[in-house]
Amino acid sequence: MRRRTMLIALAAATLLPAGAPAGQTGFSFPSIDGGTIRLDAFAGRPVLVVNTASRCGYVDQLDDLQALYDRYRDRGLAVIAVPSNDFRQEFATNEQVAQFCAVNFAIDLPMTEITSVRGRDAHPFYDWLRREHGFVPQWNFNKVLLDGRGRPVATWGASVRPTSAAVTAAVEALL
């Protein structure tokens, strides 16, 4: 029954190509709080990576990202917010982003510095997603779910909330 639930939930997601290369966990991002967020630190755990923007109409999804993280972090889920100005809806500095998210959303999930997610300046993680899996964020709040081996298993667009049944079913299937 669990497998059937996952398949139904993933039907609403964009599935990435079968037979894709093994997952990647060697990527790292500069943390907005200093230091580095290394994907290999989450080996064996599912990771939801979401490109965010503080001035986007979907910004209230930051509450949902935090709620998803709070609900599943003790079971192993990692959620990483990747602020990006690729769609011209992010503040100019990392300090502004960090302050906005702390004051308005009380975010304590890992957050990167402002990062390009598409085009020739895309972060290597997003360039890998494009080259190896055909995924490029089409807007802010696109979501990528990685399994415990760093393999992308599903993506969702901006209109799919992080706490939606589709996302939570896919997360639960990996926990």
Strands (E), 33-142: 36-38, 47-52, 78-83
pLDDT of residue 148: 93
Give catalytic status of residue 101 as yes or no.
no
In the set 56, 78, 80, 129, the catalytic residue is: 56
Assess if CATH 3.90.950.10 describes domain 2-174: no
- In single-letter form, the type of residue at position 99 comes to Q
Sign of the C-alpha dihedral, residues 27, 19, 52, 65? negative
Q: Using CA atoms, how far apart are residues 93 and 84, in angstroms rounded to an integer? A: 11
Query: Could you tell me the residue ranges of all domains in the chain?
Result: 2-174
Q: Using CA atoms, how far apart are residues 114 and 94, in angstroms rounded to an integer? A: 6
pLDDT of residue 24: 58
pTM of the model: 0.87
pLDDT of residue 103: 94
pLDDT of residue 57: 97
pLDDT of residue 25: 64
Q: Using CA atoms, how far apart are residues 166 and 10, in angstroms rounded to an integer? A: 6
Low-confidence stretches of the chain (pLDDT < 70) are 1-25
pLDDT of residue 26: 85
